[in-house]
Amino acid sequence: MINFLWPWAVAFLPLPLLVYFLVPAASRTDAALQVPFYVVASHYEGDSSFNQRRTLLRRIILMLMWLCLILAATRPQYIGDPIELPTSGRDLLLAVDISGSMGYEDMELAGRTVTRLMVVKDVVGEFVARRKGDRLGLILFGSQAYLQTPLTFDRFTVRSLLQETPLGIAGQKTAIGDAIGLAVKRLQDRPAENRVLVLLTDGVNTVGEVEPLQAAKLAAQEGIRIYTIGFGAEELVVPGFFSNRRINPSAELDSETLTEIAQLTGGIFQRARSSGELKQIYAALDKLEPIEQDHEIYRPVKSLYYWPLMLVTLLSLLYAAMHPMLTSWLVAGMAELRERRHKQAEAVDA
Locate all alpha helices (DSSP H) within the chain, ordered by sequence. Answer: 15-22, 38-45, 48-73, 116-130, 155-163, 176-187, 212-221, 255-265, 275-285, 306-321, 324-349
Least confident of 133-137, 203-207, 328-332: 328-332
Summarised one tens digit per residue, pLDDT across range 246-255 is: 777 788 889 9
The closest of 58, 131, 142 to 88, measured between CA atoms, is: 131
The closest of 241, 239, 237, 281 to 262, measured between CA atoms, is: 281
Angle between helices 38-45 and 324-349 (to 10 degrees): 130
What average pLDDT score do residues 28-50 get? 52
Under the banding of pLDDT at 50, 70 and 90, the label for residue 40 is very low
Locate all alpha helices (DSSP H) within 131-208, ordered by sequence. Answer: 155-163, 176-187
Q: How many CB atoms lie within 10 A of CB 129?
A: 12
| DSSP SS3 for 48 | helix
Say if CB 59 and CB 51 are below 8 A apart: no
Question: What gap in Å lies between CA 298 and CA 311, rounded to an integer?
Answer: 31
pLDDT of 37 above 50:
no
Buried (b) or exposed (e) across 43-72, using 16+ Cβ within 10 A? Answer: ebbeeeeeeeeeeeeeeeeeebbbebbbbb
Under the banding of pLDDT at 50, 70 and 90, the label for residue 263 is very high
Full set of structural domains in the chain with CATH: 2-22+35-80+302-349 (no CATH), 85-296 (3.40.50.410)
What proportion of the chain, given as a percentage, has pLDDT over 70? 79
Give the pLDDT of residue 26.
Answer: 61
Least confident of 4-13, 72-81, 297-306: 297-306
Average pLDDT, the chain: 82
Give the pLDDT of residue 177.
Answer: 94
What average pLDDT score do residues 314-338 get? 69
Question: What gap in Å lies between CA 201 and CA 209, rounded to an integer?
Answer: 18
**Looking at the whole model, is its pTM more than 0.85?**
no
Question: What gap in Å lies between CA 295 and CA 297, rounded to an integer?
Answer: 7
Question: What gap in Å lies between CA 54 and CA 335, rounded to an integer?
Answer: 19
